[in-house]
Structures are given as C-alpha cells and as structure tokens.
Structure 1
C-alpha cells in the first residue's frame, strides 16, 4: 500500500507537526513519531537504521495501478470543504516576515519547486553548517501539477543527495503498465504496445520508472528540510550577481506587508548571499534580472500551443467512467490523439496514488479562438510567462479547455467537468533552442547559477524534472570538490552541457543517444545520507555504453521518440508516434524492445557493496 498525502493536517491552515511525518522509513512506512529537527542527534539516531536499509538496495515493489483500497485517512479539517485547495504554510515559521537590517545566507535558492527544494537538501549535504534559504513567491503549497515519470537518471540523482528521501518519494508513486491510444472519437489506434517490464529494467539498471504526482514530490522534499528553510510570499525583484570570492550577491525581496494599517502594502528588503541558485522555472525572473535576458536564446521560445493540467479526486470510485476505472486498475494511461506527427492536439489521463487521476490537454492556441473565445496569449499582466493558476469556479482556463475539447469522448469530458477551477494550470508551450544553449555563458554570472527549466526548457517529454535533478546532483558534486568558487560553477556547466545535448539534441523519432545517456547517468554521493555508488551510477560496462551513445554511437534498439515516450517499432516506421506529453512524461509508452543489459547487474552490484 502506498503512502497518501492525506496525512494529519493536510489541507488545513495549520502546519503539520513534524512528529506525524514518515521521515525515517526506507519503504515509506511511518516510524516512531519525532518532534526533533531532521538534523538533530536524536532524529539521526532514529533514522540511521532506516537510512542504512534504504542504501542497502532496491526498495520494496510498488503496486501496478492505483485503484487499490486507499489508506485510512484521518479526520479532515471542517474548514477544508469551505476553503478548498488553499495554500498552506508547511512549517509554522515559514510565513514569518521578520526583516532584520542585515541578513546574509551562504546559499539562497530562488524557487521552491522540486528542483529548488532538492537543491537546498544537496547544499546542506555538501556544506553542513552553512546557511541555506529557499525563496518562494507563492503563499504556500496547493494541489497542482502533473504526474512525473521519474526515470533511471532521476532516481540516481535523488539517491546521490539522500537515500531516505529517495525512498520516501518512491513510496508515493505507482508503476505504469503502459498506454491505450485512441483517436479523438475514441477508436483504438493501430499502435498498442506490450506492458512495461519493470522487473527487467530494475535488474538491469538498479531502478525503474515510477509515476509520482508533482505535488507529492514537492511535499516530500519540503518535509525533508529543516523548519524555516522555505520563505513563502518572498519574491525576488532585484539582483546584483556579485563576484565569486569577492562581493556577495545582493537580492532585493518583495514581501506582503503586515496588514496593520499604515504601510501595509508590499515591503522590500535586501539580503546577501554567497551563491544564488536559480530554479524559478522556464521564464526565470532571476535569469532576467541577473543576465538581462529578454528573449531567446537565453529565454525559451513560445511554440504556439497551450497546455492545461489538473488533478481530479473521485471520492466515489463508482463515479469514475468505466474506461478510466479499468485503465486505472491496470495502471494504464489513456491518450486521445488528433492527426499529424506529432499530433496537433492531445489529451491524456492517467492514475496516480490515492484514488486520483491527472489529466493533461495540449492544443494550438488558435483552437481557443476557433472555439468562439477571445484569442489566447501566454503573456500575463506582469509580462511573466509562468504557469497561470486559477482561483475561482468557472475561471477562464477551465472554460477554455472545455471549449477546445468539447467534442471529445464522454470519459474525458466527465473528468474535465469534475475538475475544480482552482486546480487547473494553464501555460504556453515554451522550449529553449537546444542547439543554441552555450552552457556557462547562459547559466553562470557572478555568484548566480541557473538550474532546471530556467537553464534548459525542453519539450514536455518527461525529462524536465529528471534533468533538473541531474543539475542538482552535478552542482552538488562540483561544490563538494571546489567549494563555492568560480571553478565549481565552470565545472558544473561543462559537465551539464553535453548531457543537455544528448537528451534533447537528437533529431528523429527514435533516439538511441538519449536512451544510452539516461542509462549512463552517474553521480557521486554528496553526503553521509546518500546512497552508495550502486544506487547512483550504472555498472562499469553500462557506463561505457552510455559514453558511446553520447558520442553518437548506437544505443539500444527502438529508443525514445520525439515526444520522449519510448516509441513502438510500428510508430517509428511511419504510424503516428505517441505525442509530446506534459512535464514528467505522464504518458510515456511502455518499452517495445528488451532491455539490453545483462540481468545479472543487480546481483553484481550487491556483491560489490
């Protein structure tokens, strides 16, 4: 049985007590309650056996699909149904608005998503005792985001940071068996692929792909940090990069006023930081402030499409349309595809844990106007191109997606209609030009380094978060070797540029270089909580195979398609390929070919350990 985020205090206005968290379990099961900080000696003593077990080998098997009985949920706060998915401060002092005259941090992370939170955890691992602060503009964390298919490379990066955290994230996921491909009228398409062989992949590579909801990932990462690490409602509005080894970076922060009357509007203050790690998304404000970026190639290009996403929780599974219920029981994704290569429009539904479904719809922006609505533009009033979060019933994003997909089959319309307006995210389809990315000139300036989508926004093909976590692990390793120096930032950029080109720079439907690069991902353990090399790197022979792939040699047969899903052989030969999915490759198709590494790899790694 998987862990559910419906734990004590979830969705309430009060921060959940640390004592209620299943922090120490290598398999996601709660251990004895602890009120101590994650860094306190009592907590470490309780965690050591669990963490050692987590580092010892692969975790317990995950269930296939998600329509198993839900874990018993505690009583909900009576205000929940009134307040809906309102933001919650996750720790009691996260929302404190103390403003000292002078405030300095060794590391300031801008952006409190999964990349920024893992970056904070990695910085604490490589620089124990140094001060780390995460600056997040949102008022708190609310249910949002798509599912993320964490792959071999993502798991290795996560284990390089902290093994216990990796097992906590894994326990919140499910295994996806494959996909059902339908046309826009609901008729089966000719390419239907065999189920995913998760056991074979885990034997060969030490990990397998696991679907975890983006919000669940963020929750697990946030709870793994000491209280007060994240400052919510804190927006960076000014940035002087400084110089490594010289002047620190100076950040101007904007925060809400106290609301006590005079001067209760937004307040500004300055802090300094030895190193600023920017993980604030594809239209990074930090990057614009530090580098003067105003358009491509530093910023991504809008590709003329709109992406909508939302999470839907069916309280009564009898209400779930039969197609979706049966697919959920089998652990399958359901796609509705328009014509074209890649398809002009796509709709995707897939299960996650705890009796929930995620849907993602992608369509040309012109379809919005064709549906009789005003023309759509990615630009908001403040010129940001970031995700647009709605906040009331019948809000525009849900109205638009319902209008564009109004002629689709009933199961999809039922799902869209049940979605709370406040749960819908809407944003433009934007990507960087991979060939134009230069590495350090685009990612490093002074004491500022850029990670994740801010550095390299790829297509929504499943690699975004995996590559962001690779960034974190590589930066952590560089800082561990060189300290917060110019040499460390140069080493980080030099290591990451070939990986970006290997993952996103390969044309065509089949991508052998990408497959080889994913399986060749290797990272050094960053601290005492990290897993050993058997969980953070491939066997030696596989590392050699990955190096050949990055040099343009042959990888495994089949490979991953333009969309990042692994394309069945029939699709590669001319039938319509699976489409580009949302962040996290929720609709990644199952493998159509055998894993090409000896199944004895897992036993060999255990012997080495």
Structure 2
C-alpha cells in the first residue's frame, strides 16, 4: 500500500497567529514552514501589550502546550482599567482585577513572540522572505514567489500576513478601507522614574478618556514602558493635509495641544511629553462581511481574513483561527477537507464579529462609560494595531 506524501504547508507571516498555527501543527507531527519578511526575530519593535482571553487566545495556547508558560510571563495587573474624565482627569470608572483573576492577563507582544518562536523546531521560520505573489492551480500545488527571487511550492498556503495580506489576493479582491478614525501613538520609557505623575495617572493597566469628538487610550507595558494613543476622527492623510510629516514632532505636539485644549493638564501631558517621535496609525477594516469561495490549497487566518477595528479581539481571534486550522489539518484525511471544515466554523464566527464591531471604533470617542479600549499590539510599520505584516 502506497502512503500519500505529507502535504507541504507554508504559513506566511510570523505573527502570533502564524506561529501558533505552526506550533500546534508540529505538536501533531505535521511539517510546516513559516515565511516572514522581517530580516530576523529582532528586526523591529514588536509593539505594546496584548490581553489574551480565556475563551480564545488562551485556548489556543493550551492546544499549543504553552498556557502555563504564558501565565508565568503574563501580567495580571494589566487587567486594571480606568476611565478618566477628559476635563478634570478624575477617575469615573475603575476596574481592579481580583486576586487570581486571569480572564485576560496582559503580555508584551515581544515576549509572546519569543515564547512561540522558542517552541518551534529549529529552522521553521524562514526570515527575509517577503512574499510577492501566490500562483498556480486552485487544486494546488501553489507556487510562492518571494522578493529575493526564490520560488517554492506548497500544497497549502496559510495567509497569516495581516491587514495588507498578499495571500488574500489569491482568494479575494477585498482590500482594507479607512474607518474614518486614526490613532497617533506616543511612547514613554522608564515611566516610573522619568514620568512618575503619568505612571500614577494610568496605573498598572490602562486608562481611557474621551469627550465625544476625540479620545485617548494609555496602556502600561512591561519594562517600565507606556504607550498612548490619541484617537481622532480624521482622514487617513490628516498629517500630510496639515502640511507635516510624522517626523515633525514639535508641530504635531502643537496640533494636539490645540485639539485637546479643553482637556485636563495631566491628560494633555500623556499626549505631548512622549519620548521621541509619534507613530501614525490610520485604522482600517475589511468590508463586512469578508468571505471567499472555498479553495482547498489556500486559506486565511487573523487580520488577513477578517481585519476589524482594534477593540481587543484581533490577536485573540487570530490565535483561535490558528488553533482550529491546525487541529483540522491534524484530524482530516486531506488538506482540502481540513480547510473546508476550518472555514465552516471560522467564517461565520468572524462574520458575526465583523458585524458587531462595524463602526464600533467610534465608541472610543464617546464620553459615555465604556469598559474597554484598543488592543495595543501596535506594530511599528503598519497602519493597524495588529500582527506582523507581509506587504
């Protein structure tokens, strides 16, 4: 009896979703290669902090055999949440996590990536492999063309390459559109020593404020870091329209001081006392719903499949997608059957969440009490607060 050859599986993107998928596949004895455009694991800042939820992100880590390691690295104190009055700076809502609470503990994105990378077999990730296109017949195998001129074949291509996914183009013509809201990110370092008043204002977790027209979201990370997002209803090119670039730090500070002029002095300092330049984050989302015809040789997970506003679900859904896809591949006889089973669950779930969050980013500008904020994963080179990008 002839045994069918093992399928060649290629994951595009070494973000949390892609690495989680690879880890679970390897735990089930399935070979996989991950391709990422970064030159190496330390090529760029991995962004801020993530809250991984018990009912999705943590489930995926359990399937990956990494939940206990995650809980040792996580910061449960990061679950604290404050909502502040924009004018007075006073606390108007305050959630303090109970002892032992681990519904959604925080972890720095870089530490999560290190945890996942260490769990993989050596040589799993091929760095400096920026995907250019996916070609070949729908039934496979597919040919992957990379920027360095190399070409490889795969029986299954998994697009975990984020908002501007190159893999998505093999399945769907959809592209992300600007939501009408943009973030301007500010970084603070060694905050307990260099910015003690701001550290006390935000606390060990996160703090938010809004006045109906503009908002602010601040979140502590590990190592004494703080990231703050000025949230505005502006066009995606608002900085250029004002005659500036994102490197014009003093000019952008002046704009923020004017636009937030009625806010409390402490909150204004969160926007203007930052260490170094700002980072522009126009917020994009895919059309609602985003689906595609079944293709047994290509599929998507995470933001490549269902980019939504950054409201605390993106990385969690990406990791849940990764878990379900990897388990489907372990449980089904053929790749096409596994992809069909995975998409039968993932697409309805993501469609429901897309409808729920469609337009919800406007809520970050509301002065009504709300108990959440952006998922501060903040990669350094994309326009969205989400995972690693393969442009």
Give TM-score scaled by structure 2 length. Answer: 0.80
Q: Cα deviations across residues 52-78 of structure 1 (Å, max 9, x unaligned)?
A: xxxxxxxxxxxxxxxxxxxxxxxxxxx
Cα distance 1:309–1:167, how it changes in 2: closer, same or farther (>3 A)? farther
Cα distance 1:217–1:404, how it changes in 2: closer, same or farther (>3 A)? farther
Partner of residue 161, structure 1 = 64
Runs of 4+ in 1 over 6 A off after TM superposition: none
Q: Distance in 2 between matches of 1:501 and 1:219?
A: 31
For 1:237, what is the secondary structure of its paired residue?
Answer: strand
Q: Please give the residue correspondences for 1:463-542 in structure 2 after superposition, counting only pairs within 5 Å.
A: 463-506=313-356
Q: Distance in 2 between matches of 1:564 and 1:121?
A: 36
* CA drift at 1:278: 0.5
Of 220, 224, 230, which residue of structure 2 is paired with 1:351? Answer: 220
Q: Is the 8 A contact 2:306 2:354 kept in 1?
A: no
* CA drift at 1:455: 0.4
* CA drift at 1:395: 2.4
Partner of residue 385, structure 2 = none
Q: Is the 8 A contact 2:79 2:106 kept in 1?
A: no
Q: Please give the residue correspondences for 1:415-426 in structure 2 after superposition, counting only pairs within 5 Å.
A: 416-421=272-277, 425-426=279-280
Are 2:193 and 1:291 aligned? no
Q: Is the 8 A contact 1:310 1:360 kept in 2?
A: yes
Structure 1: runs of 5 or more not aligned: 1-103, 256-267, 377-393, 510-561, 568-573, 587-609
Q: Cα deviations across residues 144-180 of structure 1 (Å, max 9, x unaligned)?
A: 3232111112101211122xx2333333321235333
Partner of residue 208, structure 1 = 103
Are 2:93 and 1:192 aligned? yes
Q: Please give the residue correspondences for 1:261-280 in structure 2 after superposition, counting only pairs within 5 Å.
A: 268-280=149-161
Q: Distance in 1 between matches of 2:121 and 2:150?
A: 24
Q: Cα deviations across residues 355-374 of structure 1 (Å, max 9, x unaligned)?
A: 22222232223597589823
Q: Is the 8 A contact 1:465 1:584 kept in 2?
A: no
Cα distance 1:583–1:312, how it changes in 2: closer, same or farther (>3 A)? same
Partner of residue 361, structure 1 = 230
Of 297, 303, 324, which residue of structure 1 is paired with 2:199? Answer: 324
- RMSD, aligned CA: 3.4
Q: Is the 8 A contact 2:48 2:377 kept in 1?
A: no
Q: Distance in 2 between matches of 1:272 and 1:359?
A: 43
Q: Distance in 1 between matches of 2:46 and 2:257?
A: 23
Q: Distance in 2 between matches of 1:114 and 1:359?
A: 22
Q: Distance in 1 between matches of 2:356 and 2:69?
A: 34
For 1:336, what is the secondary structure of its paired residue?
Answer: strand
Q: Distance in 2 between matches of 1:401 and 1:580?
A: 27
Of 29, 34, 37, which residue of structure 2 is paired with 1:134? Answer: 34
Q: Is the 8 A contact 1:249 1:273 kept in 2?
A: yes
Cα distance 1:107–1:482, how it changes in 2: closer, same or farther (>3 A)? same
Partner of residue 72, structure 1 = none
For 2:329, what is the secondary structure of its paired residue?
Answer: helix
For 1:406, what is the secondary structure of its paired residue?
Answer: helix
Q: Is the 8 A contact 1:348 1:359 kept in 2?
A: yes
Q: Distance in 2 between matches of 1:277 and 1:360?
A: 32
Q: Is the 8 A contact 1:143 1:311 kept in 2?
A: no
Are 2:150 and 1:150 aligned? no
Q: Please give the residue correspondences for 1:83-482 in structure 2 after superposition, counting only pairs within 5 Å.
A: 106-128=8-30, 130=31, 132-140=32-40, 141=42, 142-153=44-55, 154-162=57-65, 165-175=66-76, 176-188=78-90, 191-197=92-98, 199=100, 207-244=102-139, 247-255=140-148, 268-288=149-169, 290-291=170-171, 293=173, 298-309=174-185, 311-314=187-190, 317-325=192-200, 327-328=202-203, 331-339=204-212, 344-366=213-235, 369=238, 373-374=242-243, 395=247, 402-407=253-258, 408=260, 409-410=265-266, 413=269, 416-421=272-277, 425-434=279-288, 436-438=289-291, 440-441=292-293, 444-482=294-332
* CA drift at 1:418: 3.6
Cα distance 1:117–1:425, how it changes in 2: closer, same or farther (>3 A)? farther
Partner of residue 534, structure 1 = none
Partner of residue 28, structure 1 = none
Q: Is the 8 A contact 1:371 1:404 kept in 2?
A: no
Q: Is the 8 A contact 1:282 1:453 kept in 2?
A: yes
Q: Distance in 1 between matches of 2:241 and 2:38?
A: 33
For 1:505, what is the secondary structure of its paired residue?
Answer: helix
Structure 2: runs of 5 or more not aligned: 1-5, 379-391
Q: Is the 8 A contact 2:10 2:35 kept in 1?
A: yes
* CA drift at 1:110: 0.6
Cα distance 1:456–1:370, how it changes in 2: closer, same or farther (>3 A)? closer
Give TM-score scaled by structure 1 length. Answer: 0.53
Q: Is the 8 A contact 1:173 1:352 kept in 2?
A: no
For 1:445, what is the secondary structure of its paired residue?
Answer: coil
Q: Distance in 2 between matches of 1:234 and 1:503?
A: 32
Q: Cα deviations across residues 260-281 of structure 1 (Å, max 9, x unaligned)?
A: xxxxxxxx12111121110111
